[in-house]
Amino acid sequence: MRRYAGVLALALVWIGTGAMVAVGQDRAPDPVAWAYGFVNSGPDPAAPPCAADTKPHDCSWPGRPWPDDGKLLRLPGSDQSFTIGQVQSFWAPADWYPNEHPPAPDIVKFGHEKDHLRACGHCHYFNGMGKPENAHLAGLPVNYILQQMDLFKTGGRKPADSRKANANEMTQIARFLTDEETKQAAEYYSTLKWRPWIKVIESATAPKTRQSPAGMFLPLDGGGTEPLGERIIEVPQDTDRTERLRDPHSGFVAYVPVGSVAKGKEIVTGGAGKTIPCITCHGDDLLGTGDIPPIAGRSASYTMRQLHNFQQGTRDNAMMKAVVKKLNTDDLISIVAYLASQ
C-alpha cells in the first residue's frame, strides 16, 4: 500500500482571521485530509459554529479580499466584461457566458444578500461545473438534488472533517431556501450538460501547492513539485482564471498515483472481490440511471470525500455505506482516479 510519510509538505493555510500561515508536517495523520482541502489533520481549527439561525455564509471562512479597482476584465470567447468586484460578488456574480445556459432563476443569480446566502452561481458557476471544493451540479437528476438538499437540511449529509466549512454553509443554505427556490435551482442545474472538466495524470509527484480558504489546492507561484504519495492533488489548469476570474471554461488537473487508474477500473467494473461494482447502479457508462447520479469525469477530490463520508457515517445512505465498508484508502484513491479519468 502506498504511503505518504516522511515528506515535508508546505502549504498556506487560512485561519479564522483570514490571515495566511505556513504549516509544515512530517506525516499526515489523516490519510484523506487532502480530499477536504487540507494538508493534514491540524492545526487548522474546526469550521465556525453554525447554529440553526446562523446566516449561511457566516458558517464559512472569509475568502480572500479582492479590492475593486474599477478595471474591466475579459475572458476568451466572452463578450462580457466585469470588474474584479463583480466577478467575485457573492450576491450577483459575473456570468461570463450567458448564452451557454438557459435563463437562471434568481436564487442562482443573486442568492439572498440579507441572509448572507450566496448565489448558487458563485460557487457552482452558472454552467454547474463547479470546483473540487464543492459539488458539480450539471446534469444531476432533479430528484437526486432535492434528496441531497433535504439531507443537508436534516443533518444527514455532513463532512467527516469538521474543518470543511463550506459544507456547513450548504446546510444553512438548505435551511434558508424556500421549497420553491430549491426546486427552481434543482431543475435549472439538471438541464445543463456535463462536459470534460478533469484531466487525470498518473505521476509520482505533484505541484507544490497552497490552500484556498474554501479548500482548493492552488500551485505555488514559484512552481516546484513534491512527492505525491498516497494522495490525489487536484489543481486548476490556469490558477488565475480559476481563482481570480472564476472562469467556468477553465478546468482542472488531477495528479493520481501511478497504476491507480487500472486498479480503479478493476474495482469499478468488477468489484475486485471487495464490493459491488459501481456500474451495477450507476450504469455501464457511469452516467447514472434514473435518480442515481452520474459519477464519470467528476472531481476526484469531491468523489473521494463523499466515499469517506459514507464510510465514516456522516452521509446517510445505507447502500453506499455497505459498498465502501471493506475498501481501504488505496482502493478509494484508485476508484476515484478511474472515475475522474472517464
pLDDT tens readout for residues 56-99: 999 998 877 899 999 999 999 999 999 999 999 999 999 999 99
Tell me, yes or no, whether 167 lies in a domain.
yes
pLDDT tier for residue 7 given thresholds of 50, 70 and 90: very low
pLDDT, residue 145, reads: 98
> Can you tell me the distance from the alpha carbon of 235 to that of 303, in angstroms, rounded to the nearest whole number?
15
Q: Can you list the pairs that 237-242 forms with residues at least 24 positions away whose Cβ atoms lie under 8 Å?
A: 237/199, 241/75, 242/131, 242/218
Question: In this structure, what CATH number is given to the domain that contains residue 78?
Answer: 1.10.760.10
Tens digit of pLDDT for each residue in 226-284?
Answer: 999 999 999 999 999 999 999 999 999 999 999 999 999 999 999 999 999 999 999 99
pLDDT, residue 236, reads: 98
Tell me, yes or no, whether 271 lies in a domain.
no
Tell me, yes or no, whether 298 lies in a domain.
no
59 and 171 Cβ atoms separated by less than 8 Å: yes
pLDDT tier for residue 147 given thresholds of 50, 70 and 90: very high
Find residue 94's DSSP bridge partners: none
Tell me, yes or no, whether 231 lies in a domain.
no
Our measurement of the distance from residue 10's CA atom to the centroid of its chain's CA atoms, rounded to an integer in Å, reads 21
Tell me, yes or no, whether 196 lies in a domain.
no
Structural domain harbouring 151: 56-190
pLDDT, residue 30, reads: 79
Tell me, yes or no, whether 83 lies in a domain.
yes
Tell me, yes or no, whether 87 lies in a domain.
yes
**How many domains would you assign to the chain?**
1
Cell of 292: 442515481
> Can you tell me the distance from the alpha carbon of 76 to that of 56, in angstroms, rounded to the nearest whole number?
33
pLDDT, residue 342, reads: 96
pLDDT, residue 212, reads: 87
Within the chain, strands assigned E span: 5-14, 20-27, 198-202, 205-207, 209-211, 217-219, 225-227, 233-236, 252-256
Tell me, yes or no, whether 94 lies in a domain.
yes
